[in-house]
Amino acid sequence: MKPSLYLLPALLLCSMKVIAQQRPPSISSPEVHPDHSITFKYFSRKAQKVTLNGEFLKAPVALMKDTSGIWSVTVPPVKADIYPYSFSVDSVQVADPNNTYIFANERFKRSIVDVPGDQPLVHSLQNVPHGKISYRYYKSATLGMTRQLLVYTPPGFNPNGKTKYPVLYLIHGGSDTEETWTKVGRANLIADNLIAQGKAKPMLIVMPYGNVRPAPMPDFTKDMVADIVPFIEANYPVIMESKGRAVAGFSVGGGQTLNIGLTNPSTFAYICSYAPYTATEEFQKNFANWTPDAAKINSQLKLFTVSVGTDDFLYEPVKKNIAMFEDKKIKLKSYIVPGGHTWMNCKQYLATTLQELFN
Amino acid sequence: MKPSLYLLPALLLCSMKVIAQQRPPSISSPEVHPDHSITFKYFSRKAQKVTLNGEFLKAPVALMKDTSGIWSVTVPPVKADIYPYSFSVDSVQVADPNNTYIFANERFKRSIVDVPGDQPLVHSLQNVPHGKISYRYYKSATLGMTRQLLVYTPPGFNPNGKTKYPVLYLIHGGSDTEETWTKVGRANLIADNLIAQGKAKPMLIVMPYGNVRPAPMPDFTKDMVADIVPFIEANYPVIMESKGRAVAGFSVGGGQTLNIGLTNPSTFAYICSYAPYTATEEFQKNFANWTPDAAKINSQLKLFTVSVGTDDFLYEPVKKNIAMFEDKKIKLKSYIVPGGHTWMNCKQYLATTLQELFN
């Protein structure tokens, strides 16, 4: 027998009909080098122009083609973090075909590159006990459908034990999905690491799907309070009081967090809003002419934070909302940090506020 | 205030820097109509030619552009099933940007369309109790790294109860990932439905990542036997005998199944190989000059099945392997059915053999 037969790499196979079609060569992309420079590759014999657009770049950079049709570029060392990127192939935006790490999103397909730190970062996979992420279905009476949500349970979690856990309800951004907080935000690893260091309390993190279109946005508030929280409390050993419930979210989810949390302070004692988008009918209805009993709300809430980056395109409206809440005497802790409206920032907002929950 | 302010759909937002860039219009794609025809849409003002390539089509079909830059095509009714598809935009293959259902794969990015049956199909989300899918990390001593795997636990599963469950170890195809069996194969819903109907035993389904490159392929066999099985048995209430263990897989994973199962018949009493790809060094080493003690193996195995479709590009080699096993007097049940090397077929192989496990 010819050895070459056995060297036919499994790589060249795929589990579909396209197997019979001509397959591109095996490519490893992205490759993060020890100095934090990164090589990106894309295969196309036909393309005229391939560029890389990454959130670690100020502007797209061009890839160069070799004689075999492999386009590549190596970018100079970048700061350790997790970054979204995509290719533009003759002006068509594509995710990296050779990278399984996809940005979970409804409106675009981008890939993710993880540049590890010289020291492990708060979102890195470290040698610590790991919790589990469970994909579950729940029935939403509000929306009249069965929906999926993700539940992080911490290391050592015992569903039948005597320990009652607090729960963080964590909402993604506007066109994200219930998977974005784990796939891009690494919420599970951030929790694993902070719990291992004793910096965060062991807790459940529930990640629902916040988009309810074509239903009106306030239906998600109802879904959260009337369907999601009861589902979790019926199925997990959790603290069934406001002091054991937190709600947090990013961007559109940050706005939803304010709507859900501040209209239900007897349900959630912790509210953490990350770069909230608030130009919604629901927010206007709730807060344009809000006359809160501030003393009461302040006594109900154990923590209310608003985070935003100074380069965030929502920086000005977020500052206005912070001022609005302060004007109404609502006690609030604001985290104004460098950076933009990115998941790089968002992970830091979570890592910071996770340490303040359920203390 | 202008109502238009509040009509700014959250749709137009995204949770990233690209927010500031021009965003495409909101598009719903794919849309499956009641008659099972499907409309696919893609937005591009610049593209010259957009085609649809789907596993329900014999050949790609062209989309037509309207004046707003939205390309669309409606394909005639197709048989209810779940199909992979992609667009070709000026010859660049892209997943559908507006569809969150992605084919989990290392080598390409395609989307998935679910055409529901007039009656629920075996893989449909039905109104039955649902199990959970857990994403977990385990340490692979064989590979010297922490790896991810998925664990399906059935409805009513109690990690601390007295019930000991059997376990199916289920391996994906050659360039797939540990998510492909749930994201494309809907293994969890198939199990939910068959368990609800009393047609399958409540069981765990463990879905590891079968690709170990650049390590040699036999290292996955070691990883399975020395790392994955012990991890599961240390962490779940399962039957720790061969009669409580099954191994199954598709394509390259079907070949791995034969390697893992037939070289470890005292570990796995059930072996189900779906359209196995066997042109590997490991398979040749194990089986080219195999002189099995057939009577012993037949007494150890409670079930050994091989499934393949008559249009599968592996049909002939699979038939040869079936003949080879029969020639060596190994008892085997073959399922030769219509269809190709597709996940449409693969789901059926699982649904058929799941009913024969652990009886």
> pLDDT (tens digit, 9 = 90+) per residue, A219-245?
999 999 999 999 999 999 999 999 999
Q: Which helix (H) or strand (E) holds A352?
A: helix A343-354
Q: Are residues B279 and A8, on separate chains, in Cβ contact within 8 Å?
A: yes
Q: Are residues A91 and B46, on separate chains, in Cβ contact within 8 Å?
A: yes
Q: Are residues A133 and B135, on separate chains, in Cβ contact within 8 Å?
A: yes
The answer, yes or no, to whether the previous bond of A30 is cis (omega within 30 of 0) is yes
Q: Are residues A5 and B90, on separate chains, in Cβ contact within 8 Å?
A: no
Instruction: Please say if the pLDDT value at position A15 is more than 70.
Output: no
Fold of B132-354: Rossmann fold (3.40.50)
Q: Does A341 touch chain B (CB under 8 A)?
A: yes
Mutate to test the interface with A, among B5, B8, B16 (most CBs of A within 10 A): B16
Distance between CA A166 and CA A202 in Å, rounded? 8
Q: Are residues B90 and A90, on separate chains, in Cβ contact within 8 Å?
A: yes
Q: Are residues B19 and A134, on separate chains, in Cβ contact within 8 Å?
A: no
Picking from A124, A247, A250, the residue whose alpha carbon sits closest to that of residue A197 is A124
Cβ atoms B85, B52 nearer than 8 A: yes
Q: Are residues B105 and A104, on separate chains, in Cβ contact within 8 Å?
A: no
Instruction: Output the six-digit token pair for A128.
Output: 């610590």
Tell me the pLDDT of chain A averaged across its residues. 93
Q: Place A21 in a pLDDT band, splitting at 50, 70 and 90.
A: very low
> pLDDT (tens digit, 9 = 90+) per residue, A168-215?
999 999 999 999 999 999 999 999 999 999 999 999 999 999 999 999
Q: Does A18 touch chain B (CB under 8 A)?
A: yes
Q: Which residue's entry shows tokens 């239903």?
A: A215
Instruction: Output the six-digit token pair for B184.
Output: 């494309």
Output the DSSP codes for A134-172: EEEEEEETTTTEEEEEEEEE-TT--TTSSPPBPEEEEE-
Q: Does B4 touch chain A (CB under 8 A)?
A: no
Instruction: Please say if the pLDDT value at position A4 is more than 50.
Output: no
ipTM value: 0.89
**Distance (Å) from the C-alpha of residue A356 to the closest C-alpha of chain B?**
24
**Strand-pair category, A38-43 with A31-32:** antiparallel
In the prediction, which pLDDT does B4 show?
A: 37
Please name the residue of chain A whose CA is at the shortest distance from the CA of residue B179. A100
Distance between CA A144 and CA A176 in Å, rounded? 21
Distance between CA B312 and CA B164 in Å, rounded? 38
Contacts of A46 in chain B (CB under 8 A): 91
In the prediction, which pLDDT does A14 show?
A: 39
**Distance (Å) from the C-alpha of residue A150 to the closest C-alpha of chain B?**
9
Q: Which residues of chain B have pLDDT under 50?
A: 1-21
**Distance (Å) from the C-alpha of residue A299 to the closest C-alpha of chain B?**
32
Please name the residue of chain B whose CA is at the shortest distance from the CA of residue A9. B280
Express as a percent the part of chain A with pLDDT over 90: 89
The answer, yes or no, to whether the previous bond of B338 is cis (omega within 30 of 0) is no
Three-state SS at B50: strand
Distance between CA B173 and CA B264 in Å, rounded? 21
Pick the CATH number of B22-115 from 3.40.30.10, 2.60.40.10, 2.30.30.220, 3.90.320.10: 2.60.40.10
CA angle B306, B307, B313 (to 5 degrees): 115
> pLDDT (tens digit, 9 = 90+) per residue, A240-255?
999 999 999 999 999 9
A187-196 and A343-354 helices, crossing angle to 10°: 30
> pLDDT (tens digit, 9 = 90+) per residue, A33-51?
999 999 999 999 999 999 9
Cβ atoms B357, B302 nearer than 8 A: no
Q: Which residue's entry shows tokens 């993604």?
A: A172
CA angle B111, B112, B116 (to 5 degrees): 160
Nearest CB partner across the interface for A177, out of B7, B100, B313: B100
Residues of chain A with CATH 2.60.40.10: 24-115
In the prediction, which pLDDT does A23 show?
A: 63
Q: Which residue has the higher pLDDT, A1 or B122?
A: B122
Residues of chain B with CATH 2.60.40.10: 22-115
In the prediction, which pLDDT does B26 show?
A: 80
In the prediction, which pLDDT does B5 show?
A: 35
Q: Does A175 touch chain B (CB under 8 A)?
A: yes
In the prediction, which pLDDT does B247 show?
A: 98
Distance between CA A221 and CA A258 in Å, rounded? 10
Q: Are residues B280 and A180, on separate chains, in Cβ contact within 8 Å?
A: no
Contacts of A279 in chain B (CB under 8 A): 5-6, 8
Distance between CA A261 and CA B53 in Å, rounded? 45
Residues of chain B with CATH 3.40.50.1820: 132-354
Query: Cα-Cα-Cα-Cα dihedral of B145, B160, B350, B262, to 10°?
Result: 60
Instruction: Please say if the pLDDT value at position A158 is more than 50.
Output: yes
Cα distances from A211 to residues A71, A171, A216, A323, in angstroms, run: 37, 10, 9, 28
Three-state SS at B296: helix
Instruction: Output the six-digit token pair for B95.
Output: 């997943």
Q: Place A8 in a pLDDT band, splitting at 50, 70 and 90.
A: very low
Contacts of A28 in chain B (CB under 8 A): none
Nearest CB partner across the interface for A98, out of B9, B98, B106: B106
Architecture of domain A24-115: Sandwich (2.60)
Q: Are residues A107 and B11, on separate chains, in Cβ contact within 8 Å?
A: yes
Instruction: Please say if the pLDDT value at position A163 is more than 80.
Output: yes
In the prediction, which pLDDT does A250 show?
A: 98
Beta-carbon contacts of residue A278 (< 8 Å; ≥ 6 apart): A255, A258, A287, A317, A321
In the prediction, which pLDDT does A22 show?
A: 53
Contacts of B313 in chain A (CB under 8 A): 19-20
> pLDDT (tens digit, 9 = 90+) per residue, A255-307?
999 999 999 999 999 999 999 999 999 999 999 999 999 999 999 999 999 99
Q: Does A234 touch chain B (CB under 8 A)?
A: no
In the prediction, which pLDDT does B52 show?
A: 98
The answer, yes or no, to whether the previous bond of A77 is cis (omega within 30 of 0) is no
Express as a percent the part of chain A with pLDDT over 70: 93
Longest dimension (CA), chain A: 84
